[in-house]
């Protein structure tokens, strides 16, 4: 196994990320996002499985009214994220195939990931955005809601951290 190459300097990478966000604003008038893609896909699945449920819930309806949820802007963007991250990790020799080789995470870690994902899904849906869509993009536009979300996120994170210490030795 090759030695993993170190990650880039965080401040410089942060500036690059900020520039990507800026370009995104300039080209589309909106910021980046991630959780919206999950909501689009979920709405698409529900609409395909049971159209009645989809029409009944204003949440799903809001994601279905602008054309196909499968080609929503954020869904395509997330596809791009997958491709870009895979390329970057492969080029830098940082790909770690945990599902094929050693260092496989424990079942508990996977379960925690699943539960954490679910909580984040609920939280992001309630807050209308996640760390990228609301905290980062909204924070840069000085949105009050984005800052409240960010403060609440870190508050809960720091408070809950000692409780799940066993997960992160």
- For other proteins, the binding residues in 79-118 under the rule CB under 8 A are 79-89, 92, 94-100, 104-105, 109-118
User: By the 8 A CB rule, do 60 and 43 touch?
Assistant: yes
Q: Which of 1, 44, 74, 102 binds other proteins (CB under 8 A)?
A: 74
Asked whether position 61 contacts other proteins by CB under 8 A, the answer is yes
| Shortest distance (Å) from residue 107 CB to other proteins | 10
How far is CA 106 from each of CA 80, 136, 163, rounded to the nearest angstrom? 29, 31, 18
Taking alpha carbons only, the member of 68, 69, 73 closest to residue 33 is: 73
Residues 127-146 contacting other proteins, CB under 8 A: 127-146
- Backbone dihedral angles phi then psi of residue 136, each to the nearest 5 degrees: -75, -60
Q: Which of 69, 102, 164, 166 binds other proteins (CB under 8 A)?
A: 164
Write the binding mask 7 to 26 for other proteins: x where contact by CB under 8 A, - elsewhere. Answer: xxxxxxxxxxxxxxxxxxxx
Query: Encoding tokens for residue 8?
Result: 């880039």
């Amino acid at each position: 196994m090759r030695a993993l190459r170190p990650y880039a300097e965080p401040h410089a990478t942060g500036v690059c990320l900020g520039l990507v966000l800026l370009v995104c604003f300039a080209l589309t008038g909106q910021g980046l996002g991630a959780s919206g893609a999950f909501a689009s896909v979920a709405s698409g699945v529900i609409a395909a499985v049971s159209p009645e449920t989809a029409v009944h819930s204003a949440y799903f309806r809001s994601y279905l009214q602008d054309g196909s949820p499968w080609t929503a802007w954020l869904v395509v963007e997330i596809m791009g994220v997958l491709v870009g991250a895979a390329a970057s990790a492969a080029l830098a020799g940082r790909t770690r195939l945990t599902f094929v080789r050693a260092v496989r995470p424990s079942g508990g870690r996977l379960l925690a990931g699943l539960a954490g994902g679910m909580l984040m899904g609920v939280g992001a849906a309630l807050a209308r955005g996640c760390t990228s869509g609301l905290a980062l993009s909204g924070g840069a536009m000085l949105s009050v809601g984005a800052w409240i979300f960010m403060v609440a996120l870190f508050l809960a994170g720091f408070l809950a951290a000692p409780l799940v210490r066993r997960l992160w030795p």
